[in-house]
Amino acid sequence: MGCCGDEENDDDILNPLSPTSSTTTQTRDDSSSSSSDGHTSISPMNSHFSALACRDTLRLIFEKLPIPDLARSSCVCRAWNSVASDQEIVANAFKSPWKLKDVVGKPASGSFWRDNSLGKFAISHRIARGDSVASLAVKYSVQVMDIKRLNNMMSEHGIYSRERLLIPISDPEMLVGATCYVEVDPCAKREVAVLYLEDGPDQKSMSSCSLSQKSADSSGLNSELGKKRVLESLRRSMQVDDATALYYLSIADGDPRAALSQFSQDLRWETHSAFA
């Protein structure tokens, strides 16, 4: 099985394209009928388009595939792999069933993207005075056991030693149009796509100015608190200290994705020059 139009490329461009069977390369005079039944069809093997070079069209197709099919496409050949593993396509496949607006952050391993079930997502709840696991369970309509499991809590009393708790998501509607941050949660000990609710239940820790600014920017990135959260989440994703995270965020003009991509570029450069 040869690549599309490999050997026949030159000839085909000179001759008019005619349907042939895959075993012969001669053109047939009666091939100009406009019917498109099977045996007069053009085999991709004889097509003189350099189809594999057409990454844009491949992208259009892959954009519509769900995650398992994307993965299988990567195994087909190198060209397909480079398009199907493209970060944007993978991220979109991850986001699309939930209609997420954006997922910010680069997970430590690509296997993060393999699973976009609801269990991958969680709400970040900042612990406030008076909170208990039971009250949070009621507030977010989830089970106490699920909160404990997600946060690796043995007992419910450990709640006050933590800054925040991750809450499993009961209603997928919350994800629609939302922005999630990929974080390694130290308590959950795994990578989670975290949702910060600017409006809604978690209002005690918010100042009023950041609430009003939310209307313009759905992820509240303009507010001071929003910025702090982005910084925190960036720090967790990159697994560096505050100062480094702040540096990258500032050179990227506050764009966390650009910051992460710059960070990983720098890491790669460092690795390469170590071998140089």
Q: Residue numbers of the site for another protein (CB under 8 A)?
A: 1-4, 6, 16-19, 31-36, 38, 40-45, 47-49, 51-52, 54, 57, 60-69, 71-81, 110-111, 114
Distance, CA of 168 to CA of 75 (rounded, Å): 34
Least Å distance, CB 212 to another protein, is 34
Least Å distance, CB 109 to another protein, is 10
Least Å distance, CB 10 to another protein, is 14
Cβ nearer to another protein, comparing 32 with 265: 32
Using an 8 Å Cβ cutoff, are 6 and 27 in contact?
no
Least Å distance, CB 17 to another protein, is 4
How many other CB atoms sit within 10 Å of the CB of residue 116? Answer: 20
Residue 68 CB contacts under 8 Å (≥ 6 apart), including other chains? none
Which amino acid, 59?
R
Residue closest to 61 by CA, chosen among 37, 78, 86: 86
Cβ nearer to another protein, comparing 15 with 203: 15
Nearest-10 Cα torsion for 100, 106, 112, 114: 60
Least Å distance, CB 211 to another protein, is 35
Cβ nearer to another protein, comparing 13 with 134: 13
Cβ nearer to another protein, comparing 72 with 189: 72
**Distance set, CA 255 to CA 230, 234, 241 (Å):** 9, 10, 18
Using an 8 Å Cβ cutoff, are 193 and 175 in contact?
no
Residue closest to 127 by CA, chosen among 145, 101, 153: 153
Cβ nearer to another protein, comparing 40 with 152: 40
Least Å distance, CB 236 to another protein, is 25
Least Å distance, CB 8 to another protein, is 12
Cβ nearer to another protein, comparing 80 with 121: 80
Which amino acid, 34?
S
Cβ nearer to another protein, comparing 26 with 208: 26
Q: In the chain, where do the E strands start and end?
A: 102-104, 121-126, 164-168, 179-185, 190-195
